[in-house]
A and B are shown apart, each in its own frame.
Chain A
């Protein structure tokens, strides 16, 4: 489904949901009400949505999908998707208890997505940006060839347009079903980020619940800025693997965003309702930084020509 259609049809679906008059089945009940995982409060789904899927009582950040994320971060109708049709093939002919191809179809049916990342160009508070959003709901957000390729192409698109690159990560790690080729995506994305970095590109990585394994150990940790969402669990090895290896209980806050902040691994932990604003500020701060264009822009602005943007008080003549 096209993204625009999706947004349009979602509005319709919401309306349909509200005219149900029969007694609710559990599933429908769940669609209307959601219990907060943290404070156990029963929340009305509509209220939760307007609050960006953050619990109004305890600030618990619910996991959200790529489409919701795009809606929250990109200016309205500004998102133009890249490589929308790219799909994974089955290079290993992988079969565990089921064929990989069948698992892919299942994943798509559940998530409504073709792959675990959506990439595209958009505006964020009026500024062009290349935006990639991963979706844990599709195949555990795992990185196979398509995720690696889409992130790589997005970086190349940002490089070409000299626009900032923003990737919202959410992943269980590499996709085992594509074997060694999944592993190579770590090197592929890191390699193109090296080129992007050397060219002076600004890359902001956002770590959301959960970000692990091959994604953390490649592009997620290579941002000029690394922002984590409150409560998100982020790490290299999973909690269970570590517990089995060291045979020891781990601290409760182990691998949370706040824990990473304490250990100097992320620049900041930012609440979802401040995320867009924070991104916009970081982008603005670095616009033309270190170039003469910076000076030109500011002199233009101080002349007030063609600029309708609000200026800080101190900048007024």
Chain B
């Protein structure tokens, strides 16, 4: 895990980064000029209060930046943190193993689950291998066969979501991306085991929802969930590439707003500044919430848990 690496500051964090740099410089002179100690203390105080106010007043686009942070923990980081011995399962059984969708068997706090999740890459090669976390239809079909496996063996399903969306490409269309997503929606609606989904970074449109039809949906504090990427929204509605911030705001895509709209059940706290500041802490927070949700859902009968999920989605909508 990359916890030891220094977090790369985001654009809105620049004032903090500059202050930190100044403090570093001052600290080096400390041995020669002990009287600087008081200045340094004052700067540390300044730094702390700036940090607090910065993260208390994040704009939606700041959340987006944190959700997309290159050091943000990804699905494999969580799986390994929760169960170092998890068993990875590959392939859609029809010819392809899509690296953008990871799946396997995990034991979390004694609960055995079938887990799937979208995977972004860390290095450039890795990113390309994972197609930047955007699954092809084959990735969704890999998830589908794992959902069926879970249903057969009465194992709960856990889905981690961090994707800009399903991949838009020639092969993806030829192999019927739409059908792959639609079939997953239908299958997940019908399984008789508990389904818990967590959005850990970006929840991008149908490509996210295809593994998001769950009894309980959790979101990390700085993750986002939207019907279209803010870039896409800005280019269609504002016909402009520099209205992304406006689009983020208008779509109400932050965890807090999605919770208010009643679409998710719980927001999971992240370390100050975002999950990339402390992998262990965020993995522990998320795990605790997932285990609690699973324990609750496991009290329901197969029929009840399916009905619960269907009723939940039946109720979404706003009309008069």
- Interface residues of chain A, those whose CB is within 8 Å of chain B, are 86-89, 91-92, 94-97, 145-146, 148-149, 152, 174-176, 178-188, 190-195, 197-198, 213-214, 216-222, 235-238, 241-242, 245-246, 248, 250, 254-255, 263, 265
Contact = CB atoms under 8 A, between A and B. Distances in A.
B310 A195 contact: yes
A190 B181 CA distance: 10
B300 interface: no
B190 to A, nearest CB: 5
Contact of B318 (A91, A213, A217): A91
10 contacts: A86-B320, A94-B250, A145-B317, A176-B227, A176-B237, A180-B227, A237-B172, A241-B232, A245-B169, A248-B170
A218 B174 CA distance: 17
Interface in B225-252: 225-228, 232-233, 236-238, 246-247, 250-252
B271 interface: no
B189 A89 contact: no
Contacts of B30: none
A270 B279 CA distance: 55
B227 A214 contact: yes
Given A179-B251, A246-B170, A191 B213 contact: yes
Identify the 7 closest CB pairs spanning chains A and B, nearest first.
Answer: A237-B168, A190-B185, A145-B317, A191-B189, A184-B316, A91-B318, A216-B178
B313 interface: yes
Interface of B: 166-170, 172-179, 181-183, 185-187, 189-190, 205-206, 209-210, 212-213, 225-228, 232-233, 236-238, 246-247, 250-253, 258, 261, 263, 309-310, 313-314, 316-320
Contacts of B189: 187, 190-191, 194
A179 B253 contact: yes
B251 A176 contact: yes
Contacts of B232: 241
B316 A179 contact: no
Contacts of A87: 319-320
Contacts of A181: 261, 263, 316-318
A67 to B, nearest CB: 21
Contacts of B210: 217
B229 to A, nearest CB: 10
B181 A217 contact: yes
B314 A179 contact: no
Contact of A191 (B175, B183, B314): B314
A248 B171 CA distance: 13
A146 B173 contact: no
Given A217-B181, A242-B173, A254-B170, A180 B252 contact: yes
Contacts of A95: 250
Contact of B238 (A97, A145, A245, A263): A97
Given A194-B186, A217-B181, A183 B173 contact: no
Contact of B185 (A89, A187, A235): A187
A286 B297 CA distance: 39
Given A187-B316, A254-B170, A213 B206 contact: yes
Contact of B251 (A88, A92, A190, A197): A92
Contacts of A182: 227
B311 to A, nearest CB: 9
Contacts of A88: 318-320
A255 B173 contact: yes
B144 to A, nearest CB: 13
A176 B233 contact: yes
A152 B319 CA distance: 13
Given A186-B185, A195-B310, A180 B225 contact: yes
A186 B178 contact: no
Given A97-B238, A216-B178, A220-B178, A242 B313 contact: no
B205 A183 contact: yes
Given A145-B318, A179-B226, A183-B227, A245 B168 contact: yes
A197 B320 CA distance: 29
B227 A92 contact: no
Contacts of B185: 186-187, 190-191, 217-218
A149 B317 contact: yes
Contact of A184 (B187, B233, B247, B313): B313
Given A187-B316, A265-B176, A174 B227 contact: yes
Contact of A187 (B183, B228, B313): B313
B257 to A, nearest CB: 9
A25 to B, nearest CB: 30
Contact of B317 (A94, A148, A217, A238): A148
